[in-house]
Amino acid sequence: MAGSASEDAEPHFEQGPVRVIFGQRKGAYPDGNSILVRGENESLLIDPAVGLHQGADRRPEVDRVLLSHCHEDHIAGLALFPETPVHLHALDRPGLDSLDDMLAIYGYGGPIEELFRTVLVDTFHYAPRPDAQTFVDGDVFDAGGVTVRMHHAPGHTRGHTCMMVEWTEGSTPRRLLYLGDIELTGFGPYYGDQWSNLEDFERSLQWVRGVEADWYATFHHIGVLGERAQFLERLDLFEAAIARRENALLEFLAEPRNIEDVVEHRFVYRPSDDVSFADAVERRSMQQHLDRLAASGRVLALPEGRYQIA
Tens digits of residue pLDDT in 9-50: 568 999 999 999 999 998 999 999 999 999 999 999 999 999
**What pTM was estimated for this model as a whole?**
0.95
Whole-angstrom Cα distance, residue 298 to residue 236? 24
Using an 8 Å Cβ cutoff, are 232 and 195 in contact? Answer: no
- Confidence band, pLDDT 50/70/90 cuts, at residue 118: very high
pLDDT > 90: what percent of the chain?
Answer: 95
* Whether the predicted pLDDT of 5 surpasses 60: no
Give the model's pLDDT for residue 84: 98
Mean pLDDT to the nearest integer, 64-72:
98
Domain with CATH 3.60.15.10 in the chain: 14-239
Give the model's pLDDT for residue 9: 52
Enter the CATH code of domain 14-239. Answer: 3.60.15.10
Tell me what the pLDDT averaged over the chain comes to. Answer: 95
Smallest Cα–Cα separation from 164: which of 21, 32, 297, 44?
44
Give the model's pLDDT for residue 8: 46
* Whether the predicted pLDDT of 4 surpasses 90: no
Mean pLDDT to the nearest integer, 260-283:
96
Query: Which stretches of the chain are assigned E, i.e. beta strand?
Result: 14-15, 18-21, 34-38, 43-46, 64-66, 86-89, 133-135, 140-142, 146-152, 161-169, 172-178, 215-217, 224-225, 257-258, 299-302, 306-309
Mean pLDDT to the nearest integer, 234-244:
98
Mean pLDDT to the nearest integer, 60-70:
98
